[in-house]
Structure 1
Amino acid sequence: MTSLTPWQQRPSTGTEDIQDEVISWYQQARHGRAYIPTMIWGTLQTEAYATVILRQVVDFLGVPDDVPVGVAKRMERQQVLYDGEHHYEVILGEQALYTNVGGPEVMREQIARLLRDQDLPSLSLGILSATAEVGIVPMPAFDMNGDGRVDYELVSCGVEITESAELALHDKAFEALRNAASYGDAARKLLTRALGFWGDCDSASG
């Protein structure tokens, strides 16, 4: 089954309710997988990065402005990385390290956070190099929460997939992405290169 929910119906009271819903998803699903090609996964975002993202959501959708509350909830969600009960497989596209969210200072702090958390026991972090050969056509970001649901965030709506045959295809897609991604020292090299890029940008602007 596939269901669509227009975004303007969901955050009609601001971002807090959606963040509460996501916290519940993460607490209930002990294992999750996510592929995010162009931005940083929400559960690894710094407070500054998340503030920029949620400000964009509020401004774009024209919903009530509760950005500080929404950011606080997003930070609360991140406790699943440290409770010893959850594990997440996350693949970021290399472009996610270079998409400018908030400027060089915000990006430098964000990349440093990824380097710091890369070795968390709860996290398997892969970086899909821009030049990696992947055995599947390009696709948008998706989250696989436990074994029973895949979520997409599109411009105008959220999409939830629960049909078993479609879930199996997402399993196959994630495996192809995993096989092409860089992990460990290779991922660290890509992260360090991005950190240097944003450091150079900061120096140039100064």
Structure 2
Amino acid sequence: MTSSVPWSERLSTGTEAIQDDVVRWYQDTRRGKAYVPAMIWGTLQTEAYATVILGQVVDFLGVPNDVPAGVAKRMQRQEVLYDGAHHYDVVLGEQALYTNIGGAEVMRPQVERLLRELRLDSLTLGILPTTAPVDLFPVPGFNVYGDGDRVHVELVSSSVDVTEQSELALYDKAFAALSSAASYGDAAEELLRKAHSFWTSAPPQG
């Protein structure tokens, strides 16, 4: 089964309520997966990065502006990385390290956080190099929740939840292809340090 809910409906009261839902999804998922091609996975975002992202959501969709509350909930959801009860396999596209969210003053600390968290016991973090050959056509980002029984995909106008077993199997297959092409460990660290050097030398935004 696939269900779609417009963002205008999900965010009708602002960003905090939906973050409550996401906190619960992460707490209920002991082993999760995520592929995020062009931005930083929400559970690894710094407070400054999340503030810019949620501000853009509010401005674009015209929903109530409760960004500080939404950011606070996003930070709360990150507790699953440190409680010893969860593990997440995450593949970030290398583009995510360069997509300009708030300028160098936001991006440099964000990449520094990724460097600090790269070898967390609760995290398997891969970086998919821009030029890496992947045995899969380009696909949008997705999150696997509920220990594999639900996939969440975010579109421009709506969010989509997939629960049909045959469809879930395709997402598992896609994640396997993406993760097999990604760089891990020292190779991932090298890509992160390259991005950090870029943002260190980049001029301030504005």
Q: Is the TM-score greater than 0.5?
A: yes
Contact 1:81 1:87 (8 Å CA) reproduced: yes
Alignment of 1:147 onto 2:148: yes
Identity of aligned residues (%): 65
3-state SS, counterpart of residue 187 of structure 2: helix
Matches within 5 A, 1:153-164: 153-164=154-165
Partner of 2:99: 99
Partner of 2:46: 46
Matches within 5 A, 1:28-39: 28-39=28-39
What TM-score do you get using the length of structure 1 for normalisation? 0.98
Alignment of 1:11 onto 2:14: no
Partner of 1:67: 67
Partner of 1:188: 189
Q: What is the distance in 1 between the residues matched to 2:56 and 2:24?
A: 23
What TM-score do you get using the length of structure 2 for normalisation? 0.98
Contact 1:105 1:202 (8 Å CA) reproduced: no
Deviation at 1:105, TM superposition (A): 1.0
Structure 1, residues 79-129: CA drift from partner, whole Å, max 9, x if none?
000000000000000000000000001000000000000010000000000
- Equivalent pairs counted in the alignment come to 205
3-state SS, counterpart of residue 143 of structure 1: strand
3-state SS, counterpart of residue 52 of structure 1: helix
Alignment of 1:87 onto 2:87: yes
3-state SS, counterpart of residue 202 of structure 1: coil
Q: What is the distance in 2 between the residues matched to 1:24 and 1:137?
A: 32
Structure 1, residues 67-88: CA drift from partner, whole Å, max 9, x if none?
0000000000000000000000
3-state SS, counterpart of residue 3 of structure 1: strand
The one-letter code of the counterpart of 1:92 is L
Partner of 2:114: 114
Aligned-residue CA RMSD (Å): 1.1
Alignment of 1:165 onto 2:166: yes
Gaps of 5+ in 2: none
Contact 1:12 1:64 (8 Å CA) reproduced: yes
